[in-house]
Structure 1
């Protein structure tokens, strides 16, 4: 297992997520959980959804196996890049001229006045999707060369751009702040593209793209493109259950009390921190290795990586899950309760965060096991599993949203995470999973989680008394 690469990637993601939390702290202080914060989050929701889908491996897990197997890598990569970019630019232009219909789809519970006020920000934010696709494509080429640091660190540029906008416009009216954030999103995306271009040039990967363009009419890659297309949509669906579920929850939250969209956003930001620096960082690093091992018929080497990574994730995610549930109030208080973010809003966000944390361990482990489905080109099976999870999550959301509010939506997402994990393990091989857990490490895990839970419980009791 590539521990050095995992820790490098984790550190980069941690730096990006810490700057992201700093951004959210300032945003909570400037906008609180208000109608303007809800409006910005809705406008940013669609490009942010695709940012997470692309950045967290969905595109890579469809593209990488095809790229590894390609006989004409430059021509294949260039063809895929141009096809996606032209399509996304056409969609972005359409939304620029007609932003209200898509905004209405994102906020079905809002009236026409709110939709009209949010639509211009939707048009601005959507262009970030074009930029993040370029970033993701270049990042995949860098991953092929086992370089992860640039991509892991670069998200911080988006956060830094938004932090700068907040510092400059903090004292302005909420509308000005929301628009400043929207333009800062585009500046941050452009900066991400620039640093990836520098890294691609450093590793001489630009030669692949230049050669691909030069020989695009002389090399036949039609079969390779068709194979990629057969993997792409199932890969996107199979790898994006948490993001799609959260996206649907945002739509459902517009039917709840004002601030619900913001509670979900702030809580999900905290939830995503351990998921990203532990599970996503590990999966990102292992995927090229597992893909190459399975392509070369080295199954035992691939599953050895699975065993080692499973216990690394189990201990770290288990501790994070327990800590997140028990320490939710001190965490939210420390991060967000200042300025226009009140104590009542803190308690609402705490309830949502606790429900999200119930799903941290299954979502993280499902991410690990799904690597073997994508590396062995079983994207369609992964997509079917994702549909089971998504249907469960949406059904639970509809049942729980009225009695529990935003907390019910978060709990429904966690229930979907457990369904995703169970079915993914079953498809990869229940016998493989049983072989992993038939170990003394299982006993160590349970004992350590029990001891850790007791310690955190008493620490939380002391902290809550201190802050309240």
Structure 2
């Protein structure tokens, strides 16, 4: 079994819980504010601090901080590593605090810049929501530093669980709004306040785990400019910021394209992306988290051959998990969207529109996940310009494709452009990896590819036949049931189809001896054993 797949198991479970709860949160949002103009205002307002968050915290900072902090742990000691962490914390608070203040003051110009063709009233409403949610930038940035401290010491689970807390607080806020009968503009404002409170909880939940490791958050500016670790972080961050900025430019331009398509397009893309991000979060982010730490350690030791092996294991596991997810999302997009979002202010027409966008996104699932696995290796060996070049090329392809096709293809075309950009990014990273680090190709890779192709073909055939058959059988009886019962029966049918598809896929990869296939086959039984052991403990 690849070590990356094994090590990421608990993280995958934590991230899976977070993503499922995230879909519950989005399901509440869809029912409370729909997928029209009001939903557009929230999506854009939330996107503004998130663009900066991705730029600084979860993009450049994480890529630069983890290898630098890890090197300090390996080559010096924990006390000096923690001093470095507090300096980094002070620096990021200074930067993000300033940006938060600027975002509050200049909220309306920011909204105008990111949208196209919106009315003054819609811009003003979006700016008011932006001012509420801007502090999310600083909160998530603090969480990124603290999460890097935990991950570098192989304490992966707390940081993976932190978004669970975010989603639970958001869901509690949404349920309160639903029970209170809030709707319209009041619901959007209340949802924004709940999102801010959830971000506070997401950062705060990391503190107990950090204290157990002996870390105390004492941000200080003295020595910030002179510390060699800080200088290395800045040196790695600057090209990384440019690289991530290229991706955010892509989001920025695509948002303007979507905003010009009329009311609802921005929100529909957001709803589709949240479902698309479930397998990325469960598999891609979990594997990337483990792989980034492993390659940082091997790079700090100067062991290139093991570094290559770790990256290869991560890619093999990603192929195994994301290829099946792609097939499932393409074939089951409409029932999944309908089950999660439909109801209240979100109708059948919105479900159909979001499903097509989701299918376009799903095409890019594998390359999108693999970029997160390959790119950290270049930061670990101090070659940050390589991901920068690949990122710019992917964004150029994406923006060029979308500029040529968005009026004809609409919102699904924007999602397809994102998938094409991810494919270009991965292709270039693989080519540079061979030149800068070494060949990732392993003996037997073509046999593994054939096994994976057969498994996905079997999965697709079974899922298509099973869902088509069940849909025909249930169409008549379901029409006579109340909405809630229809949803429960539909969820059960969808779960059965997914379970059957999993069994077929896992059986083929196990029989074909694909790396990790036997472990995937044994995963349900392993989970059941863990549950039985946990239930038996109190009785003992």
1:438 aligns with 2:438: no
Alignment check: 8 A CA contact 2:11 2:157 kept? yes
Shifted more, 62-71 versus 122-131: the winner is: 62-71
> Mind listing any 5+ residue stretches in structure 1 that lack a counterpart?
none
Residue from 103, 114, 126 that aligns with 2:111: 103
Partner of 1:83: 91
Partner of 1:308: 313
1:386 aligns with 2:391: yes
Alignment check: 8 A CA contact 1:35 1:258 kept? yes
CA distance in structure 1 between the aligned counterparts of 2:464 and 2:327, rounded to whole angstroms = 9
Q: Find the residue that maps to 2:429 and give its secondary structure.
A: helix
CA distance in structure 1 between the aligned counterparts of 2:417 and 2:5, rounded to whole angstroms = 34
Shifted more, 51-60 versus 263-272: the winner is: 51-60
1:423 aligns with 2:431: no
CA distance in structure 2 between the aligned counterparts of 1:322 and 1:246, rounded to whole angstroms = 25
Shifted more, 374-383 versus 75-84: the winner is: 75-84
1:157 aligns with 2:162: no
Partner of 1:13: 15
Alpha carbons of structure 1 residues 243 and 346: separation in structure 2 relative to 1, 3 Å: farther
Alpha carbons of structure 1 residues 293 and 320: separation in structure 2 relative to 1, 3 Å: same
Partner of 1:374: 379
CA distance in structure 1 between the aligned counterparts of 2:406 and 2:444, rounded to whole angstroms = 36
Q: Find the residue that maps to 2:441 and give its secondary structure.
A: helix
- Cα distance, 1:50 vs structure 2: 4.1
Q: Find the residue that maps to 1:156 and give its secondary structure.
A: helix
- Cα distance, 1:436 vs structure 2: 6.0
- CA RMSD, aligned part only? 2.3
1:461 aligns with 2:471: no
Alignment check: 8 A CA contact 2:90 2:220 kept? no
Alpha carbons of structure 1 residues 100 and 243: separation in structure 2 relative to 1, 3 Å: closer
Alpha carbons of structure 1 residues 221 and 4: separation in structure 2 relative to 1, 3 Å: farther
CA distance in structure 2 between the aligned counterparts of 1:358 and 1:7, rounded to whole angstroms = 24
Partner of 2:335: 330
Task: For 1:24-423, list aligned pairs within 5 A.
Answer: 24-52=26-54, 56=58, 58-70=60-72, 72-170=80-178, 171-206=181-216, 210=218, 213=220, 216-217=222-223, 221-238=226-243, 245-423=250-428
> Mind listing any 5+ residue stretches in structure 2 that lack a counterpart?
480-540
- Cα distance, 1:59 vs structure 2: 1.9
TM-score by length of 1: 0.93
Alpha carbons of structure 1 residues 142 and 109: separation in structure 2 relative to 1, 3 Å: same
- Cα distance, 1:54 vs structure 2: 6.1
Alpha carbons of structure 1 residues 464 and 53: separation in structure 2 relative to 1, 3 Å: farther
Q: Find the residue that maps to 2:205 and give its secondary structure.
A: helix
The structure with higher relative contact order (CA 8 Å, sep 6+) is: 1
Alignment check: 8 A CA contact 1:330 1:460 kept? no
- Cα distance, 1:103 vs structure 2: 1.4
Alignment check: 8 A CA contact 2:333 2:359 kept? yes
- Cα distance, 1:74 vs structure 2: 3.4
Alignment check: 8 A CA contact 1:45 1:247 kept? no
Alignment check: 8 A CA contact 2:88 2:145 kept? no
Shifted more, 32-41 versus 86-95: the winner is: 86-95
CA distance in structure 1 between the aligned counterparts of 2:410 and 2:317, rounded to whole angstroms = 34
CA distance in structure 2 between the aligned counterparts of 1:2 and 1:412, rounded to whole angstroms = 30
Tell which structure's C-alpha radius of gyration is larger.
2
* CA deviations over 1:422-444 (Å, ceiling 9, x no partner): 10100111772433663421221
Q: Find the residue that maps to 1:201 and give its secondary structure.
A: helix
CA distance in structure 2 between the aligned counterparts of 1:50 and 1:321, rounded to whole angstroms = 29
Alpha carbons of structure 1 residues 436 and 314: separation in structure 2 relative to 1, 3 Å: farther
- Cα distance, 1:220 vs structure 2: 8.3
Alignment check: 8 A CA contact 1:76 1:221 kept? no
Shifted more, 338-347 versus 368-377: the winner is: 368-377
Q: Provide the aligned length of Structure 1 versus Structure 2.
A: 463
